[in-house]
Chains A and B, each alone.
Chain A
Amino acid sequence: MPEPSKTVTVEKTPVIEPGHTFGTVTEKISAIVLTRPASNGWFVGFGMAFMLTMMMLYAIGYLFVKGIGIWGVTIPTGWGFAIVNFVWWIGIGHAGTLISAILLLLRQSWRNSINRFAEAMTLFAVAAAGIFPAIHVGRPWLAYWLFPYPNTMRVWPQFRSPLMWDVFAVSTYATISALFWFIGLIPDFATLRDRTEKRWVKIIYGMLSFGWRGSARHWHRYETAYLLLAGLATPLVLSVHTVVSFDFAIGIVPGWHTTIFPPYFVAGAIYSGFAMVLMLAIPIRKIYGLEDFITERHLQNSAKVMLATGLIVAYGYGVEAFMGWYSGDRYDAFTLWNRLHGPYALEYYALLSCNILIPQVLWIRRLRKSPAALFLISFVILIGMWLERFIIVVVSLHRDFLTSSWGMYYPTRWDWMTYIGTIGMFLAAMFLFLRLLPAISIFEMRTLLPEAEVKE
Chain B
Amino acid sequence: MTNNRNSKGAPHEDVCPTKKLDLNVVRERLDAATGTKSGPEYWRSLEELAGSPEFQRALHREFPKDACEWLDSVSRRGFLKVMGASLGLAGMTGCVKLPKEAIVPYVRQPDGVVPGRPKYYATALTLGGYASPVLVESNMGRPTKVEGNDLHPASLGGTDVFAQAQLLTMYDPDRSQSVVSMGDQRSWAGFLSALRGPLAAQKPLEGAGIRVLTTTVTSPTLADQLHTFLKNYPQAKWHVYEPINRDNVLEGAKLAFGQPVETRYDFSKADVIVSLDADFLYAGFPGNTKYIRDFASRRDPDGKMNRLYVIESTPTSTGAKADHHVSARASEFASLLDNSTGWPDPTFLQAARSDVNARPGSSIIVVGDHLRPEIHALVHKMNADFGNIGKTVFYTDPVDANPINQTDSLKQLVADMNAGKVDLLIILGGNPAYDAPADLNFVEALKGDKVPLRVHLGLYNDETAELCHWHVNQTHELEAWGDARAYDGTASIIQPLIAPLYNGKSALEFVALLNGHADANGYDLVRAYWQGQHTGADFEQFWRKSLHDGWIEGTTFAPKEVSRKTSTRSEMNLTDASAIELNIRRDSTIYDGQFSNNGWLQELPKPMSKLTWDNAVLIGPKMAERLGIRTEDVVELELNGKKIRGPVWLQAGLPDNAVTITLGYGRWRAGRVGTAQGFNAYELRTTANPWIASGVKITKTGDTYKLASTQGMQSMDTPNGATRPLVREASLQEYRKNPNFAVEMDENPVPELTLYPPYPYDKEMYAWGMAIDLNRCVGCNNCMLACVSENNIAVVGKEQCVIGRHMHWIRVDVYYQGDRDNPKAYFQPVPCMQCENAPCEVVCPVGATNHSTEGLNDMIYNRCVGTRYCSNNCPYKVRRFNFLLFQDWDTPQYKMMRNPDVSVRSRGVMEKCTYCIQRISEARIDAETASVREGKDKLVGDELKTACQQSCPAEAIVFGNINDPNSKVSKLKAHALNYSLLGELNTRPRTTYLAEIRNPNPELEG
Interface residues of A (CB under 8 A from B): 66-70, 72-76, 78-79, 136-140, 142-143, 145-146, 155-158, 160-164, 167, 247, 250-253, 330, 333-334, 337-338, 341-342, 397, 399-408, 410
Is there contact, CB below 8 Å, between B877 and A138? Answer: no
- Which B residues are CB-close (under 8 A) to A341? 719-720
Complexed CA–CA distance, A167 and B908 (Å): 20
Given contacts A252-B839, A333-B722, contact A78 B804 (CB under 8 A): no
A404-B815 contact given A155-B847, A167-B845, CB 8 Å threshold: yes
CB distance from A397 to the nearest CB of B (A): 6
Residue pair A402, B722 in contact (C-beta under 8 Å): no
A289 to B503 alpha-carbon distance, docked (Å): 84
Extra pairs beyond A75-B805, A401-B985 (11, CB < 8 Å): A68-B866, A72-B803, A73-B883, A76-B804, A138-B910, A333-B722, A337-B718, A402-B830, A402-B876, A404-B815, A410-B803
Stretch among B372-380, B633-641, B709-717 lining the A interface:
B709-717
Inter-chain contact total with CB atoms closer than 8 Å: 183
With A74-B805, A341-B719, A402-B875 as given contacts, are A163 and B867 in contact (CB-CB < 8 Å)?
yes
The interface residues of chain A lying within 8 Å CB-to-CB of B865 are: 137-139, 142-143, 145-146
- 7 A-B pairs with the lowest CB-CB distances in the bound complex, closest first: A138-B866, A138-B908, A69-B883, A406-B712, A78-B868, A69-B884, A405-B877
Docked complex Cα distance between A156 and B726 (Å): 38
- A78→B866 CA distance, assembly (Å): 10
| A158–B981 alpha-carbon span in the complex (Å) | 28
Looking at the assembled complex, report how far the CB atom of B996 sits from the nearest CB atom of chain A, in whole angstroms.
16
B843 at the interface (CB under 8 A from A): yes
Q: Do B866 and A74 touch (CB < 8 A)? A: no
Q: Determine the distance from Cα of A406 to Cα of B712 in the docked complex, in whole angstroms.
A: 5
Q: Report the bound CA distance from A68 to B882 in whole Å.
A: 9
A156 CB contact (under 8 Å) in B720, B847, B885? B847
A403:B846 contact, CB within 8 angstroms: no
CB pair B876 A67 closer than 8 Å: no
B82-132 interface (Cβ within 8 A of A): none
**Which of the four size classes fits the interface of chain B?**
35 or more
Chain A residues with CB under 8 A of B909:
138-139
B74 near A: Cβ within 8 Å?
yes
Q: Does B844 have its Cβ within 8 Å of any Cβ on chain A?
A: yes
Q: Taking beta carbons and an 8 Å cutoff, which residues of B are in contact with A?
A: 74, 711-716, 718-720, 722, 724, 726, 800, 803-805, 811, 813-815, 828, 830, 839, 842-847, 863-869, 871-873, 875-877, 879-885, 907-910, 981-982, 985
Bound-state CA distance A251–B908 (Å) is: 22
Given contacts A74-B804, A400-B875, A402-B813, contact A66 B720 (CB under 8 A): no
Within the complex, what minimum Cβ distance (angstroms) separates B741 from chain A?
A: 18
Q: Are A403's CB and B718's CB within 8 A?
A: yes
B701 to chain A, nearest CB (A): 24
Known contacts A403-B726, A406-B712; decide if A163 and B883 are in contact (CB<8 Å): no
**Please, which residues of chain A bring their CB within 8 A of the CB of B873?**
251-253
**A145 CA to B876 CA, complexed, in Å:** 27
- Complex partner residue of A68 from B712, B845, B883, CB under 8 angstroms: B883
Q: Which residue of chain B lies nearest to A337 when distances are taken between CB atoms in the complex?
A: B720
Inter-chain contact B871/A137, CB cutoff 8 Å: no
In the assembled complex, the CB of B889 is this many whole angstroms from the nearest CB of chain A, namely 13
CB pair B871–A75 under 8 Å, yes or no, is: yes
Q: How far is the CB of A242 from chain B (nearest CB, A)?
A: 17
- Kindly identify which residue among B718, B846, B881 contacts A75, using a CB–CB cutoff of 8 Å: B881
- List, sorted by A's number, 19 A–B pairs whose CB atoms are closer than 8 Å: A69-B884, A76-B712, A79-B868, A137-B865, A138-B907, A139-B908, A155-B847, A157-B846, A161-B842, A161-B869, A163-B867, A163-B869, A167-B845, A251-B869, A400-B877, A402-B875, A404-B813, A404-B830, A406-B712
Q: Which residues of A contact B844 (CB under 8 A)?
A: 158, 161
Complex contacts, B724 vs chain A, CB 8 Å: 330, 401-403
- Assess A78 versus B719: contact at CB under 8 Å? Given A156-B847, A251-B843: no
What distance in Å separates the Cβ of A415 from its nearest Cβ neighbour in chain B? Answer: 13
What residues of B have a CB within 8 angstroms of the CB of A163 in the complex? 843, 845, 867, 869
Chain A residues near B842 (CB, 8 Å)? 158, 160-161, 250
Decide: B868 and A402 in contact? CB cutoff 8 A.
no
Whether the Cβ atoms of B881 and A78 lie closer than 8 Å is yes
B880: chain A residues within 8 A (beta carbon):
75
Q: Which residue of B lies closest to A164 (CB)?
A: B845
Query: Which residue, A69, A338, A341, has most C-beta atoms of chain B within 10 A?
Result: A69
Minimal beta-carbon separation of A82 from chain B (angstroms): 10
Residues of A within 8 A of B846 (CB): 145-146, 155, 157-158
Query: Which single member of A136, A158, A406 contacts B847 (CB below 8 Å)?
Result: A158
Q: Chain A residues near B981 (CB, 8 Å)?
A: 402
Q: Which residue of B lies closest to A80 (CB)?
A: B868
Report the minimal beta-carbon distance from B551 to chain A, rounded to whole angstroms.
Answer: 39
Which chain B residues lie closer than 8 Å to A75 at the CB level? 804-805, 871, 877, 879-881
Contact A334 B830 (CB under 8 A): no
Q: Across the interface, do B713 and A406 meet the contact criterion of CB distance under 8 Å?
A: yes
Instruction: Give min CB distance, A150 to chain B, whole Å.
Output: 15
In the bound complex, residues from chain A placing their C-beta under 8 Å from that of B847 are 155-158
Q: Which residue of B lies closest to A156 (CB)?
A: B847
Residue of B nearest to A404 (CB): B813
| Partner among B811, B839, B867, B879 whose Cβ is within 8 Å of the Cβ of A251 | B839
Chain B nearest Cβ from A60, distance in angstroms? 15
The distance in angstroms between the C-alpha atoms of A103 and B630, with both chains bound, is 59
Which residue on chain B has the smallest CB distance to residue A396?
Answer: B872
- Residues of A contacting B726 in the complex (Cβ-Cβ under 8 angstroms): 402-404
Determine the distance from Cα of A67 to Cα of B839 in the docked complex, in whole angstroms: 26
| Residues of chain B within 8 A of A405, CB atoms compared | 711-712, 876-877
* Shortest CB distance B865–A (Å): 5
List, in ascending order, chain B residues with CB within 8 A of A67's CB: 882-885, 907-908
Q: How far is the CA of A164 from the CA of B805 in the complex (A)?
A: 27
* Chain A: minimal CB distance from B58 (Å): 35
**Contact (A137, B867) CB under 8 Å given A67-B908, A402-B876:** yes
Q: Which of A143, A160, A330, A342 contacts B722 (CB 8 A)?
A: A330
> Known interface pairs A75-B877, A250-B843, A253-B872. Does A136 touch B716 (Cβ–Cβ under 8 Å)?
no
User: Within the assembled complex, what's the spacing in Å between the Cα atoms of A163 and B981?
Assistant: 28
Most chain B C-beta atoms within 10 Å of own C-beta, residue among A167, A333, A334, A403: A403
Q: Measured between alpha carbons, how far is A70 from B805 in the docked complex, in Å? A: 12
Residues of B within 8 A of A167 (CB): 845
B722 contacts across to A, CB distance below 8 A: 330, 333-334
- Bound CA span A74–B872, Å: 10
- Shortest distance between the CB of A251 and any CB in chain B (Å): 5
Shortest C-beta distance, B868 to chain A (Å), equals 3
Q: Verify A138–B803 contact, CB threshold 8 A.
A: no
- Complex CA gap A69/B794 in Å reads 15
Instruction: Output the least CB separation between A85 and chain B (Å).
Output: 16
Given A138-B868, A341-B719, A401 and B803 contact (CB-CB distance below 8 Å): no
Cβ contact within 8 Å between A68 and B877: no
CA distance A75 to B864 in the complex (A): 17
CB distance from B978 to the nearest CB of A (A): 19
Considering only CB atoms, which chain A residue lies closest to B860 in the complex? A155
Contact indicator A76/B877 (Cβ below 8 Å): yes
Query: Which residues of the partner chain A approach B872 to less than 8 Å between Cβ atoms?
Result: 76, 78-79, 251, 253, 397
Whole-angstrom distance from the CB of A338 to the nearest CB of chain B? 8
A137 partner residues in chain B, CB cutoff 8 A = 865-867, 908
Contact A69 B800 (CB under 8 A): yes
Residues of A within 8 A of B830 (CB): 402, 404
Q: Are A146 and B884 in contact (CB under 8 A)?
A: no
In the complex, which residue of chain A has the Cβ closest to the Cβ of B755? A160
Complex Cα–Cα for A330 and B814 (A): 21
CB distance from B82 to the nearest CB of A (A): 16
Q: Bound complex: CA of A399 vs CA of B718, how far in Å?
A: 10
Minimum CB–CB distance for A444 against chain B, Å: 40
